[in-house]
Amino acid sequence: MALADYFQRSAVAAAQVLRGYDEDRIRERLGAVSIGLLIGPDAETPEGAVLAEMLVRLVARLYPRISIRGSTSSLSDLALRINPVIEITEGDVDFAIALGGERLGENTIYAGSDGWDALVSSENPCRIGSSSNPFGAAAAACLAAANLFRGVFEVDDDPFDKAVTFSTLDLESRPTTDPLDLHAVDIGPAAVLVGAGAIGNAAAWVLGKLPAPSGELFIVDPEDVELSNLQRYVLCERSSVGETKVELLSDYLRHEAPRLTVTPAPSDWARFVEKYGYLWEAVLVALDSARDRRSVQASLPKWIANAWTQTEDLGVSVHPWGDGACLNCIYIPNEAAPSEDALVARALGLGPEHELRVRELLFSNAPPPTELLDVVAANLDVSRALLTPFESRPIRELYVEGVCGGAIVSLDRGAPNDPGLHVPVAHQSALAGILLVASAIARSVGRSPETSRLTRIDLMKRLSEFVTLSAQKDPRGICICQDPIYSEAFGLKYGE
């Protein structure tokens, strides 16, 4: 069987959302199934191409054996670049995702799209539109991949969506009420994507699929691509490891969207605003931590869209500054969160007596001393040899890659209850990124809601009927958006 060499991280992610599965059972199940992607002749439209490409970008990361039928060889090449050891078969398949075409047997998920609308059905083939709007098709790929995942891992006796239409414009499970055609979109002179991780990868990918987008986009993220990221970074191929994340996204966009001016900023948000200033028309937030999200809101961009994944759901929220919740409102902690040094020390099996040492190491970005690694190995009960690669690397990488990434800590000891250790499945992050950009483009074309709105989707279940609510300010009145000094500063910045 030909699992990708970054499979460990996929197993961590899958085990967190699948009750009763450990790494061996996941490996066994993946080894037992063949997945078919069946591309009918009616899928030869721009929407069909978007749908097929995103499906390959999702499916080839996890499933070791796939069959791609009715397409050009470019999709097989893409699958091989994502997982060079993937087995591309011509044989029978156990589960299939069909784009267009005819009605097939059971365990087939039909995917299609119609402009802004994603269509998924387990009953009948779905139509595939011919517009140049990528959002419905891109979201349909994620919803179909989620159905496949639920089917393969037998999440439910009845795991498949019957016949759903999801509007990426209205963000509800119904056809778009007042659809508008999407032509060349101008994202404005001062848009920022902060976070070039799993959500940022999907966001950039779908931006590149828009019809001739223009405007100015800054992409902010300090990190490089690690092997463990490949499990869910849809823009990444096996050869992307070691590239700077912002460069990877920028290169793609320069190629796919040449009218867009893209500026990569390999830094964190604080250094970015120090260098480029504080006047931002629209900020797309694709960050991991609540603290980082709150610091983006505190710098007072004019408008924010925010996307997240967590163990229970994924989502997107939009925040015009005004009556509804700001981004800070929805991330104010209810109780004191553990400090980073306490979190890292705990995850590495180090008691409170080591916290000060961990804090110093985090601050100086230094590698852990060998005697500390001896303690980590002993307390986590792992082989000391597993820690050798981390002897010359910052302690934060030991935490991120070794514990969160599963390089040293095995699955059954992973801590699904620790939000810091949550690893999403690829289709969750991808849908979050796609809806993030759909929200921003809705604003560019004058179709964004006037007050804050929050959308939650749980892809481990069949799609719910209502997923979007308006978002109210923090009821305690303690948020920066309820503080007259911040409101005045916002007014001065944007002349309101």
Q: Does residue number 284 form part of the binding site for Zn ion (CB under 5 A)?
A: no
**Beta carbon of residue 217, minimum distance to Zn ion (angstroms, whole number):** 26
Of 229 and 295, which has the nearer Cβ to Zn ion? 295
Which residue in the set 45, 131, 328, 429 belongs to the binding site for Zn ion (CB under 5 A)?
A: 328
* Helix/strand/coil for 395: helix
The number of residues that bind Zn ion (CB under 5 A) is 5
Q: Does residue number 330 form part of the binding site for Zn ion (CB under 5 A)?
A: no
d(CA 453, CA 435): 13
Which residue in the set 11, 206, 307, 326 belongs to the binding site for Zn ion (CB under 5 A)?
A: 326
d(CA 235, CA 244): 13
Of 21 and 321, which has the nearer Cβ to Zn ion? 321
Single-letter residue type at 485: I
The residue range among 214-222, 319-327, 362-370, 434-442 that interacts with Zn ion, by the rule CB under 5 A, is 319-327
**Beta carbon of residue 270, minimum distance to Zn ion (angstroms, whole number):** 20
Of 72 and 470, which has the nearer Cβ to Zn ion? 470
SS3 of 426-472:
HHHHHHHHHHHHHHHHHHHCCCCCCCCEEEEECCCCCCCCCCEEECC
Of 329 and 350, which has the nearer Cβ to Zn ion? 329
**Beta carbon of residue 363, minimum distance to Zn ion (angstroms, whole number):** 30
Token pair in block for residue 233: 């970074």
Q: Does residue number 35 form part of the binding site for Zn ion (CB under 5 A)?
A: no
Of 304 and 481, which has the nearer Cβ to Zn ion? 481
Q: Does residue number 16 form part of the binding site for Zn ion (CB under 5 A)?
A: no
d(CA 114, CA 339): 46
d(CA 86, CA 227): 16
SS3 of 285-306:
ECCCCHHHHHHHHHCCCCEEEE
d(CA 79, CA 60): 5
The residue range among 185-193, 197-205, 335-343, 480-488 that interacts with Zn ion, by the rule CB under 5 A, is 480-488
Closest to 139 measured CA to CA, from 126, 152, 151: 126
35-39 and 95-99 beta bridge pairing: parallel
Contact 174, 165 (CB under 8 A): yes
Of 24 and 496, which has the nearer Cβ to Zn ion? 496
Which residue in the set 390, 481, 486, 490 belongs to the binding site for Zn ion (CB under 5 A)?
A: 481
Of 35 and 316, which has the nearer Cβ to Zn ion? 316
Of 153 and 486, which has the nearer Cβ to Zn ion? 486
Of 121 and 452, which has the nearer Cβ to Zn ion? 452
The residue range among 83-91, 265-273, 318-326, 339-347 that interacts with Zn ion, by the rule CB under 5 A, is 318-326
Q: Give the CA count within 13 Å in the CB-facing half-sphere of 76.
A: 15
d(CA 335, CA 447): 36
Q: Does residue number 296 form part of the binding site for Zn ion (CB under 5 A)?
A: no
**Beta carbon of residue 100, minimum distance to Zn ion (angstroms, whole number):** 45
Binding mask 346-365 for Zn ion (x = CB under 5 A): --------------------
The residue range among 115-123, 325-333, 380-388, 429-437 that interacts with Zn ion, by the rule CB under 5 A, is 325-333
Of 328 and 444, which has the nearer Cβ to Zn ion? 328
Distances (CA, A) of 155 to 148, 150, 284, 430, 465: 10, 5, 32, 20, 20
The residue range among 3-11, 100-108, 196-204, 471-479 that interacts with Zn ion, by the rule CB under 5 A, is 471-479
Binding mask 421-460 for Zn ion (x = CB under 5 A): ----------------------------------------
SS3 of 23-86:
HHHHHHHHHHCCEEEEECHHHCCHHHHHHHHHHHHHHHHHCCEEEEECCCCHHHHHHHHHCCCC
Rounded (10°) angle between helices 135-152 and 198-208: 140
Per-state percent for the chain, helix, strand, coil, to nearest 5: 40, 15, 40
Closest to 312 measured CA to CA, from 202, 461, 140: 461
Q: Does residue number 306 form part of the binding site for Zn ion (CB under 5 A)?
A: no
Of 228 and 317, which has the nearer Cβ to Zn ion? 317
Q: Does residue number 300 form part of the binding site for Zn ion (CB under 5 A)?
A: no
SS3 of 105-164:
CCCEEEEEEECCEEEEECCCCCCECCCCCCHHHHHHHHHHHHHHHHHHCCCCCCCCCCEE
The residue range among 248-256, 327-335, 366-374, 436-444 that interacts with Zn ion, by the rule CB under 5 A, is 327-335
Alpha helices in 257-339 (DSSP H): 269-276, 290-298, 327-331
Binding mask 152-191 for Zn ion (x = CB under 5 A): ----------------------------------------
Q: Does residue number 318 form part of the binding site for Zn ion (CB under 5 A)?
A: no
Which residue in the set 196, 210, 479, 486 belongs to the binding site for Zn ion (CB under 5 A)?
A: 479
**Beta carbon of residue 394, minimum distance to Zn ion (angstroms, whole number):** 34
Q: Does residue number 148 form part of the binding site for Zn ion (CB under 5 A)?
A: no
Task: Give contact residues for Zn ion (rule: CB under 5 A).
Answer: 326, 328-329, 479, 481
